[in-house]
Amino acid sequence: MRNRLIYALLGVVLLATGAGCKDPYTPDITTRNLNYPVVEGEIINGQAETIFKLSRTAMMADTSYIKDELNADIRVEGDDNSSRQLAGIGGGRYTAGILNLNTAAKYRVHIRTSDGKEYASAFVNVHTNPPIDSVTWRWEPAEGVKVFVHTHDPANNTRYYRWQYEETWEHDVYYISAMKYVTPPPRVIERPANETLPIRCWQYENSSSIIIHSTARLQNDIVKDKQLLTVPNGSWKMGVKYTVLVKQFTMDKQAFDYWQMMKRNTESLGSIFDPQPSESRGNITCLTNPSEPVIGWVSAGSVQEQRIWISRSQLIGWRYSLICEETQVPAIADSRRFISAVAC
Amino acid sequence: MIDYAQGAKPVQEATLENKLYVIGTPGGSKDPTVNLAGYIRNTQTGEPVIGVSVYVDAPKRIGVATDQYGYYSINLPRGRHVLHIQSIGMRDTRRQVMLNDHGKLNIELAEQVISLKHVTITGEKAGNVRGTQMGVEKLSIKTIKQVPAVFGEADILRVVLTLPGVKSVGEASTGFNVRGGAADQNLILFNDATIYNPSHFFGMFSTFNPEVVKSVELYKASIPAKYGGRLSSVLAVDGREGNKKKFAGVGGIGLLTSRINLEGPLVNDRTSFVFGARTTYANWMLKLLPQEYENSKVNFYDVNLLLSHEDKKKKNNFYLTTYLSRDRFALNSDTTYGYGNKNISFKWKHAFNSKFSGMVTAGYDFYDYNINSDAKELEAYKMKFDIGQANLKFDFNYYLNSSHTLDFGVSNILYKLHPGSYEPVGKESEVIADIMEPEQGMESAAYIADHWTITDKISLDAGIRWSMFNYLGPRTVNYYPAGVSRTDENLIESKQHHRGDFINNYNGPEYRVGARFATSATSSLKVSYNTMRQYIHMLSNTTAIAPTDIWKLSDPNIKPQRGDQVALGFYKNFKSNTIETSVEVYYKNLHDYLDYKSGASLVLNHKLEQDVINTKGKAYGVELMVKKLTGKLNGWISYTYSRTLLKVDDPTTTETVNKGDFYPSNYDKPHDVTMVGNYRFSHRVSFSLNTTYSTGRPITLPIGKYEYAGAVRTLYSDRNAYRIPDYFRMDMSLNIEGNHKVHQKTHNSRTFGVYNLTARRNAYSVYFVSENGYVKGYKLSIFGAAIPFVNFNIRF
């Protein structure tokens, strides 16, 4: 609601006067050592793997990468005294495999980092998750292809939802790949003559914004037309064939508030009609040093998934095409041979 | 008592000045001192003139100034006197009087149109040095109109923002902060009617139509005992009285608004009206927006009607003020915002005798906002909030003798708020209606203040105001044990109070003390101490006032805000009072100021008390000002150093801000320099220049980054630990009046100007967003270019 207000204000004031402007800005931040742990993941009941990612905050000005937290001892613990250790799979990621949780119990994540500090989340309930009714898409000629999710809980008690998605699309290659990268040792070699040239590739991308929705203000727990993403007009994603896998998570109000706060602090515009960015404590604390901030919120529950496909043939008039690069060549015999070799 | 009123027929000024007015018959009174009182009016328009100095020089200097109704009352020894009458913008005059008894003398003043002595600031000459009040700023509408404003629309609140000690969080916000107070701690009165939201168009303009305003007075430190209910300041906007002699009008066209003003007598010399209306045609702006906003609409208007009447015996004056403002904004027609003020106030001033006068004020003030959204049928809703208050007050003024003047009175305000409703719209809507219970309260106060002239050199204003607030039923109130955090677990009971129940009561004294020591004829030292209480709070967790901010009454869980301020000032005038200089220092404490838990939702919150954190604050600063009042070149320069710091000190909350340390408030801008200047080339052409610099406001900056949910996200610093870049702006305008031939039917004037002359891209805000997985910072400026404007006015 406030966001709309901001757009109203900024839209009118800035664009209409033609005088408003937006400039890149890099503040002068006095250096401080920021190294708070970041815990991301959900304790998933059945169906999918429970994976946690541990990392550290980095300085704003740092050009270096965000550091992964390696060699931690991380466990999912139940208040029924169950415990499962997660195995490191590189990049700060740890997996517990498929967990079959006791829905009557509460679970938490317990972490001991390699520097000996101990962290634990609060014990959380295992949430149920109603199946996704459908994932639909619509091509709005002005903007592009929009993907929507629809779901409902007949028991009316889910109320707080979050979604993630994974996009995968097929595309044709731009260039003939006469070279090849191989390891070990890492090197580029000429592609052997007997090997077929790659002409079809797949690219994938995961959601990078927080998509949450609450039906707390509605009589029935129905989510209709919740927009997840837009594939803009002319995008190469729709060049051949496209698919998106939608994953649905559910949570309680506190978790929802935390996600909303994170979204507001990191994704919305900073107008003076926006609430101030505010400190938000997650449900993970450092047991060794309780004043140390820890970023992240751990919830437990099942995940619901649904995948849809969109073919180029379903989008008549999609303005994306693989453009042949034009090369000017003199009309001599060599050139003709070259053209017949690279024709696309 | 004998009443001399000068007739409307033109009389040579010299005749009036040399004529001897005999008041009473010889031997009519045995009192050594007698009282002379009356109204001072403008010869041309019949409007009362405020702040006129009326004084005698012999046997000793005795002087008074007219009040906001143009009324003066002076105690003089019996005998012959030369009464000097001086006012800025008016021709000085004098009257020869022979005082035999108490009596009345009304005086008319002619406007001064000599270019050399053009005046920009009304107020008693030397009033700054002689009065006991301090921290008072007074602006006439003439001054306000001279200051260049964006789009050329004269704007009262923009000019108030140029005064020392007054700050705002940003360019497009009308909310202002006085000496470190919050935006809801200002009592904004238009002819004694409370205006809850003084802004149009999300704060781009103020809702006061400059054509119906006579003057504006801002009390920052010595707040008179008759005012109360807000901690930081009182902004009293006085409406004009209509021309009592002939009909007149003004029509104006600007880039964004057009306006019409009519005024004139209803009964000659006794009843007059002023009508003003403004509307916008800013929709053209929206045409410039990208196509997706093509169905957007913006619209606002305001209407004022002011009536004044004086009875034949000139003992009773009646004033009726009505005010209406409305803003509507539709964004691509799926969500509509609307808000507005409605006010009516009626005043009756009665002079019991020349020493004792009283006034009754009754009125009703209303503010509401609503949001309608039908973007999605399933979630279509309408949301509303409103606040209404009915006021009644009695104010009396008694001139006891030459050393004591008493002000006393009582007042009562009844509040009724509908704190919010959220209802479905249309058959498809699944929205559950959520209607908050209305809340009621009553604020009462009684006050008495004495203006005591102890000696020629020392005078004292001492006042006490006892205010009381009752929270009234019907209303369900949640109770929690004292000293523990207010949570559902600690909830003792939810009690239903019935209609007519006095649920709880807060009351306490407010002290208003000021003293003046004249250090010489042209300089003085003043000190003041004030305490204030505030029972109504604006709930806002945004930096600026937003139309969606709502108000809340104190209740058993939410304590009234309290504040106290001590101030010290030194005033010195030069060049026969044409240059005024002042230094004021202040220190202020705020208690039980409201802050909110992280992520608290303030609208439609049924357990708001659980999300409130009590905060205390301190503010201190020094304000320097030099004003030149007359001459071809006039204006003022002010410098302010001030700090405002807040600290969470609520033992019942587990959540703190910045670990419970003091942190700068959103409007803590330590350095502020403002220069407002006007140069009059001739009768018809004048040039104004306005320059302002201030430290950037504090913000909470991202200092670190982390990866979460597929993107790099920002980690924020302690609250308000950094600042946006400093602010600098210069505006100019050229006012050209048509010729001044008296007998032509219409007079016109044109204003050309440039806002933000240097085209500096002042940061309005700085924000950081994750874009494609990276954190990027942007600086946003609203007026990032020089904006030329033109304005055209016709008087008829």
Nearest CA in chain A to B722: A29
* pTM score, whole prediction: 0.75
Q: Do A17 and B787 touch (CB under 8 A)?
A: yes
Between these two residues, A268 and A86, which has the higher pLDDT value?
A86
Distance of CA B200 to the CA centre of its chain: 15
Whether B709 sits inside 8 A of A277 (CB atoms) is no
Closest-CA distance, B334 to chain A, in angstroms, reads 11
SS3 A283: coil
Q: How far apart are CA B301 and CA A39, in angstroms?
A: 53
Asked if A5 and B657 come within 8 Å (Cβ–Cβ), the reply is no
Which of the pair, B702 or A226, is modelled with greater confidence? Answer: A226
Eight-state DSSP code of residue A71 = S
Q: Which residues of B touch A151 (CB under 8 A)?
A: none
Q: Which residue of B has its CA nearest to A2?
A: B548
User: What pLDDT is attached to residue B205?
Assistant: 77
Query: Is the predicted pLDDT of residue A6 greater than 60, yes or no?
Result: no
ipTM: 0.82
| B116-156 pLDDT per residue, tens | 333 333 334 455 666 667 778 888 887 787 777 666 677 88
| Residue B396: strand, helix, or coil | strand
- Whether residue B785 lies within 8 A of chain A, CB to CB, comes out as yes
- B78-87, B567-576, B630-639, B770-779, range with the lowest pLDDT: B770-779
Q: Which carries the bigger pLDDT value, residue B717 or residue B363?
A: B363
Report B:331-350 residues touching A (Cβ under 8 A). 331, 335, 337
| Continuous segment of H or E residues that includes residue A254 | helix A253-267
Where do we find the tokens 């009087």? B97
Beta-sheet strand order (sheet of B711-716):
A58-59, B702-708, B711-716
Nearest chain A residue to B774, by CA: A208
B795 burial via Cβ count (<10 Å: 0-12, 13-18, 19+) = middle
What is d(CA B35, CA B31) in angstroms, rounded to the nearest whole number?
A: 10
A237: which strand partners? Answer: none
Name which residue leads in pLDDT, B284 or B115. B284
Q: Do A62 and B705 touch (CB under 8 A)?
A: yes
Q: Is A96 left (phi over 0), alpha (psi -120 to 50) or beta?
A: alpha
The pLDDT of residue B295 is 67
Query: Does the beta carbon of B707 lie under 8 angstroms from any beta carbon of chain A?
Result: yes
Q: Looking up tokens 């008074």, which residue turns up? A: B64
Q: How far apart are the C-alpha atoms of A107 and A300, rounded to whole Å?
A: 7
The C-alpha atoms of residue B249 and residue B270 are separated, in whole angstroms, by 19
B11 reaches A (C-beta below 8 A): no
pLDDT at B173: 65
What is the model's pLDDT at position B645?
93
Q: Residues of chain B with pLDDT > 90: what percent?
A: 32
CB < 8 Å to A228, chain B: none
DSSP SS3 for B611: helix
Per-residue pLDDT at B108 exceeds 80: yes
- Neighboring chain A residues of B288 at a CB cutoff of 8 Å: 15-16, 18
Answer whether B298 touches A (CB < 8 Å). Answer: yes
User: Tokens 């129905």 appear where?
Assistant: A222
Q: Do B331 and A206 touch (CB under 8 A)?
A: no
Mean pLDDT, chain B, rounded, equals: 84
Q: What share of chain A is helix, strand, coil (3-state, %, to 5)?
A: 15, 40, 45
* A171-190 confidence digits (pLDDT tens): 887 777 788 888 888 888 88
pLDDT of residue B477: 93
Distance from CA of A142 to the nearest CA of B (A): 9
- Residue type for position B391: N
Taking phi over 0 as left and psi of -120 to 50 as alpha, with beta for the rest, B202 belongs to: left
* Predicted local distance difference test score (pLDDT) of residue A17: 45
Mean pLDDT to the nearest integer, B685-694: 90
pLDDT tens-digit readout, A28-75: 776 567 788 999 999 999 888 999 999 998 887 656 567 899 999 999
The model's pLDDT over B363-392, given as tens digits with 9 standing for 90+, comes to 999 999 898 888 778 888 899 999 999 999
Interface of B with A in 560-619 (CB under 8 A): 598-599
- Taking 90 as the threshold, does the pLDDT of residue B1 lie above it? no
* B542 interaction partners in chain A (CB closer than 8 Å): 2, 272-276
Query: Between chains, do B716 and A2 touch, taking CB under 8 Å as contact?
Result: no
Burial label for A65, CB within 10 Å (0-12, 13-18, 19+), is: exposed
In DSSP terms, A88 is beta-bridged to A94
**Residue B768 touches chain A, beta carbons under 8 Å:** yes
Inter-chain residue contact B701 with A268, CB threshold 8 Å? no
Nearest CA distance, B234 vs chain A (angstrom) = 25
- The residue among A2, A266, A268 with the most chain B CBs within 10 A of its CB, best to mutate, is A266
Residue B552 to chain A, least CA–CA distance (Å): 19
Query: If you average pLDDT over residues B398-404, what whole number do you get?
Result: 87
Q: What percent of chain B has pLDDT over 70?
A: 89
Chain A residues with CB-CB distance to B432 below 8 A: 217-219
What's the rounded mean pLDDT across residues B418-430? 89
| pLDDT tens digits for range B495-507 | 999 998 999 999 9
Q: Which chain A residues touch B666 with a CB distance below 8 Å?
A: 276
Residues of A in contact with B173 (CB under 8 A): 272
Residues of A in contact with B197 (CB under 8 A): none
Q: Which two tokens stand for residue B197?
A: 């939201």
The one-letter amino acid at A11: G
Phi, psi dihedral angles at A211 (to 5 degrees): -115, 110
Residue A269: is its pLDDT beyond 70?
Answer: no
Closest-CA residue of B relative to A163 is: B709
Q: Is the pLDDT assigned to residue B648 strictly greater than 70? A: yes
Q: Mean per-residue pLDDT for B275-296?
A: 69
Average pLDDT over residues B331-348: 85
Dump pLDDT digits (tens) for A243-266: 999 999 999 988 998 898 888 777
Q: What is the pLDDT of residue A344?
A: 43
Which residues of B, range 203-232, sit inside 8 Å of A by Cβ? 204
Residue whose tokens read 């006015």: B793
Q: Kindly list the structural domains of chain B, giving each domain's residue range(s) and its CATH number in brackets, ordered by start.
A: 3-112 (2.60.40.1120), 236-241+312-669 (2.40.170.20)
CB neighbour burial string for B692-715, b if at least 16 within 10 angstroms, e if fewer: bebbebbbbbbbbbbbbbbbbbbb
- What DSSP string runs through A20-69? -EEEE----PPP-----EEEE--EEBSSSEEEEEEEE-EETT--SPPPB-
Interface test with A, best of B421, B706, B766, B767 (most A CBs within 10 A): B706
* CA separation for the pair A207, A229 (Å, rounded): 8
Report chain A residues whose CB lies below 8 A from the CB of B202.
5, 8-9, 13, 273
Mean of the pLDDT values across residues A138-150? 92
